[in-house]
Structures are given as structure tokens and as C-alpha cells.
Amino acid sequence: MKKLLVIVAPSMVFVALLFSFASGEHSELSQQPQVVQVPETLPDIHFPASQKQQLIASIQTYFDQALDQNQIVGASVAIVKCDSIIYLGGYGNKNSRSKDTINEETIFRIGSVSKGFAGILAGIHVEEGLINWEDKVKDYIPDFKLSSKKQTESVTLSHVLSHTTGLPYHSFTNLVEDGIPIRTIASNFKELVPIAKPGGIYSYQNAVFALSGTIVEQVTGKSFKEVLQEKIFDPLHMSSASASYEALEQSNNVAEPHQRVRHGWRPMKINKKYYNNAIAAGGINASAKDMGKWMKFLLGNNPEVMMPGSIQDVFTPKIQVGGRRTILSKVVWIFIIFLRLWMEST
């Protein structure tokens, strides 16, 4: 089965990639990638109470085992079917050193799942005619320079969002984490030797991906945070979603990040710097309840925010991704298999 990378929406794409691992450690890549279909309309659903109770019991068992085996500190879950959030729940604690429990409204720093919001936000502005996928990055950010003029002039917004700029893996992520302004980082890319021409290969990025947010700021005259609020959070009623460290700090229902140590988990401080210079790459906070609404939107339920046809454009594959499956993917894949079997039985 093929592994495909599309421009945006990791919250849906991630599941698709996990499904692809069923075919084994290696896979042949077809020259004709399959496009994720976003339906124009979604059918009404009937979800019997008995099936819902069965689902809840199975999920509870799964997370009870994960907590008992110290695989996680806690988790919050949203399951969406068609146009409905059919389950919301929380498991475990916000901090390994406290008994403060997680619920569906507990806010998490969602990290690189933020990239999906950046891609959709770009798509909204493409729909509005303010930008185009093939616009050159240098036309919006003159400081952006690669090792050659030809390479610089070839990089488009589409390349940035699909991780196909040709730059080495994680180029200058260290500078993002050091809090260096993204426009300063943009001028430093010229120091790197590209590993491919733009559009040639997939190479995951944070710093160059964050430039997509800068482009949105250029065409709107607003901060990326303001545009997120106006175009996505407010119309989707994602009431606890935010894109600032200050908003996270003001909430009393926040899950803390943790690091695995020898005998369990150690709480860590949240890195403030992604909120300053790379919101598009990793600076969004949200709860499972918020993310359920986000998934409903991605399934085409909010045409007033973005038309299904435009969402389809966003999900059109840009590059094929090979490689081995990881330990993490195997663990998550087990859970996805369960959900898939459950859905097939309903």
C-alpha cells in the first residue's frame, strides 16, 4: 500500500499513514498516488447506544492498560464519525506528579499537528484569491535565500507546505528552538547545501515550514495568531484553542509535556519560543473537544469556512514517502486496527 504525503492536515493524514503500514516494512511506490476524497455532503448517521457503550468500554480498557504499563501519563480522545463527534473522553493525569485528571477540555500543546492548521489557512487564502500554491516564497519574503539564485527562485508555497523545498532534514530547527526570528533564519538557508531540487524529495522541516505563516501575515496585514482566530478558531467554535504561550499559561486545565526517564516520566517545561517565531510549525494549543470540531471541518461539514472542493485541493498528494515503520507507529497502528475493525462491524 502506498504512503502519501499531502500538503496539509496531519490530523487526517497521520491516520492514513498508519493504515499504510499494514502492508509491511517496505512497499513499492506507485506512480499514480490515490487522492484523499472529501465528499461534498455527508450522510446523517444513527449510532446505537449499545455500540457506543461497547466502543467506550474498549477504549477504556486500552487506556487503562497503557496507564498501568506506564506507557503514557495521560491522554484525551475525540472520535468523529461523519458529521458527529461520537465520543469525547480523558484518561490519566495532566502531570505525573499530581492526581489532577485529564478530561475532554484539557488543553494540550499539539506540536506539529499545528502544521495542518497552517496548510488549511493557506488554502483558505488561496480560495479567497489572495495567494496561489505556486507563488514564489521570495516574492513575499525577500530575505529568503538558498545557496543559489535558481534554487531560491524555484521554491513555492506548495514546496514549503509539503516539505519538498530540497533543504536537508530539519534545517535550522535548532535556531527555531533558540528563538531566532524566522526572517533571520530565512536568510541563513543560503549557508546550506540543498539535497535535491524543489519538489524532488520529502525532507521534514520546521523553520522553512514556518515561512508559510509569514506569507499569510504578508497578504493579510495581520499576525498569524489573529488570522487563525478569525478564520478557524472562531467560526469552528474551538473555544479553548489558542496560539500563544500566554493563553496556555492562563488556563487551569493544561496537560504538561513529559520526558521518559528510567523509572517513569518526568514533567517538562513548555518551550515558549515556538509561539514567538514558528506558530505555523508548532505553536497551537487545543483540547480534544476542539480537535473533534477540527476533524468535523476536515470532513467537509463547514463549507462556510472552506468549501469541500478547496479542502480536496489541500489533500491532493504532492510527494510519495517511503521508509520503515517505527516503534511508535506500530503501537499506534494496533489502536487504529481496533477502531477500524469496530467501524467495519457497525
- Is residue 326 over pLDDT 80? no
The CATH number of residue 143's host domain is 3.40.710.10
Q: pLDDT tier at 53 (50, 70, 90 boundaries)?
A: confident
Flag whether 45 is in a domain: no
Q: What is the pLDDT of residue 47?
A: 64
Q: Measured between alpha carbons, how far is 250 from 334 in angstroms, rounded to an integer? A: 36
Instruction: Return the closest-CA partner of residue 63 out of 97, 107, 100, 101.
Output: 101
Coil vs helix vs strand at 78: strand
Integer CA distances (angstroms), 154 to 8, 157, 210, 255, 329, in order = 20, 10, 18, 41, 34
Report pLDDT digits (tens) over 1-42.
333 333 333 333 222 222 222 223 333 333 344 444 444 444
First to last CA, the chain: 25
Q: pLDDT tier at 204 (50, 70, 90 boundaries)?
A: very high
Flag whether 291 is in a domain: yes
Q: Within 13 Å, how many C-alpha atoms sit on residue 141's CB side?
A: 29
Instruction: Return the closest-CA partner of residue 146 out of 205, 89, 106.
Output: 205
Q: What would the mean pLDDT of 126-145 be, rounded to a whole number?
A: 97
Flag whether 154 is in a domain: yes
Number of domains the chain is built from: 1
Q: What is the pLDDT of residue 341?
A: 41
Q: What would the mean pLDDT of 140-164 be, rounded to a whole number?
A: 97
Flag whether 42 is in a domain: no
C-alpha cell at 266: 518526568
CA dihedral 122→180→226→154, nearest 10 degrees, is -20
Q: What is the pLDDT of residue 273?
A: 83
| Residue 174 burial (CB count, 10 A) | 12
Q: What would the mean pLDDT of 154-167 be, rounded to a whole number?
A: 97
Q: Using the structure block, give the residue that is written with the C-alpha cell 457497525.
A: 346
Structural domain for 149, as ranges:
73-321
Report pLDDT digits (tens) over 214-244.
999 999 999 999 999 999 999 999 999 999 9
Flag whether 48 is in a domain: no
| Residue 341 burial (CB count, 10 A) | 10
Flag whether 67 is in a domain: no
Flag whether 337 is in a domain: no
Q: pLDDT tier at 323 (50, 70, 90 boundaries)?
A: low
Flag whether 109 is in a domain: yes
Q: What is the pTM of this model?
A: 0.81
